[in-house]
Structure 1
């Protein structure tokens, strides 16, 4: 990986009853790190992190401690960043978490196991130059979450993807929206990207449970209200151009995460949705706010 590059592995899990959620992102070259943006060497291996976010009544926690290259070990089937790591045994992905929230310390410790029934075809290019690649490897997998801190266990479904890039996201994109919805069999994914040159790419994907692509008609644009606190713009797409926000999980200056109710492929679904403004993220004032939630350790 060259200067300015990045790779991340992303897991988004939701309990069967929709009341608990968990997001895990393991970064090499932490794209949302102010320290990486300020580092003149732009060494991705010196900016690694495991971001863990818990959603749900009594279990809302956010962890993102950035670490230097000495904290990173990896090979073809394993990656460890500090005390947390991901391991692939050929059939299951096991994530062991040991992270601490900031600014008020609280631990998130436990194990998450995904059992992908299959994998989708290879990556999609998000920019015209091919500098940013996204692969939704396993859009809908059974997941088991077992945490000791906080004391929490549940089962549900999880989405698993990876992103690779050669330069900073904010240099290529102004904003994007993404959402994924579990279907009766498999999952649908919408990924709408607006590039810095003014062009767009709106991806509409559908996969069977084993990763086999399925046909889906491009849905209609559906308006959503901006977030209450930071007024982050939101929109999505649906069969009938209608959607509503059930809950906003995260409302930050440049990013919003929500739970929606809408229809896709003729099914009533409840997607997980995100809106990201990279123009806002690049604002120096926003970057100065981030260390409050994202501490850095050199080891």
Structure 2
């Protein structure tokens, strides 16, 4: 992920290009071509292609606040993904998803903490969005998606805490009574954010999916926010 100026941006109905990287929709596949240089401490070339093939495209939008200032858009929560990067061990095929968040206010203005998880199931995938809002209310969303892109609100097992991250970030997700979720694989560990593969049990079905936890109290800290400039490289004055 690299920050660039507006001179590096090109868009069309089927393609979004930022600098040397792009996302192209073919009608069946989302082709993500990456050509970047990673940040400190492991500065290296990140180059290759990711292909996401949705089983269907949904029409779902979930407001995260009552006024709709923040929206979660699960475009393709049930997909196949093929990763082919130019590095040893970075080639694989598996289940995947494609989603996005939109907002008109900074996240830390409206939220103090949230967790999100997407877990594949026999029927498709189930997503959980749990958030603590600044106004004292909570978001408790559980949505099941089938392979045709149909969405339905579903019953959710209770929020269940599990082991904190190396930065002592609190984590929780949904899990059946008597089950404790566990991290299977770390993906990103930051002082205010965690992304990992987590195993849990949902309505009697054991599953492994992508989980994230975000502490907006930490993120808003003037001591931590400048770290983003270190972790996200910035490339000014790009020209095609």
TM-score by length of 2: 0.92
Equivalent residue, structure 2, for 1:231 = 168
Q: Is the 8 A contact 2:54 2:76 kept in 1?
A: yes
Equivalent residue, structure 2, for 1:124 = 62
Residue pairs, 1:143-292, within 5 angstroms: 143-150=81-88, 152-214=90-152, 216-228=154-166, 230-240=167-177, 242=179, 243-292=181-230
CA-CA distance at 1:214 after TM superposition: 4.5
Residue number among 26, 33, 37 corresponding to 1:100 in the alignment: 37
Equivalent residue, structure 2, for 1:86 = 23
Equivalent residue, structure 2, for 1:45 = none
Gaps of at least 5 residues in structure 1 are 1-50, 52-64
Q: Is the 8 A contact 1:108 1:150 kept in 2?
A: no
Cα 1:175–1:188 shift into 2, 3 Å: same
Distance, in Å, in 2 between the alignment partners of 1:214 and 1:201 is 16
TM-score by length of 1: 0.75
Distance, in Å, in 2 between the alignment partners of 1:120 and 1:218 is 21
Equivalent residue, structure 1, for 2:53 = 115
Gaps of at least 5 residues in structure 2 are none
Cα 1:258–1:87 shift into 2, 3 Å: same
Distance, in Å, in 2 between the alignment partners of 1:83 and 1:288 is 26
Residue-pair matches, total: 235
Residue number among 72, 75, 90 corresponding to 2:12 in the alignment: 75
Residue pairs, 1:57-72, within 5 angstroms: 65-72=2-9
Q: Is the 8 A contact 2:124 2:145 kept in 1?
A: yes
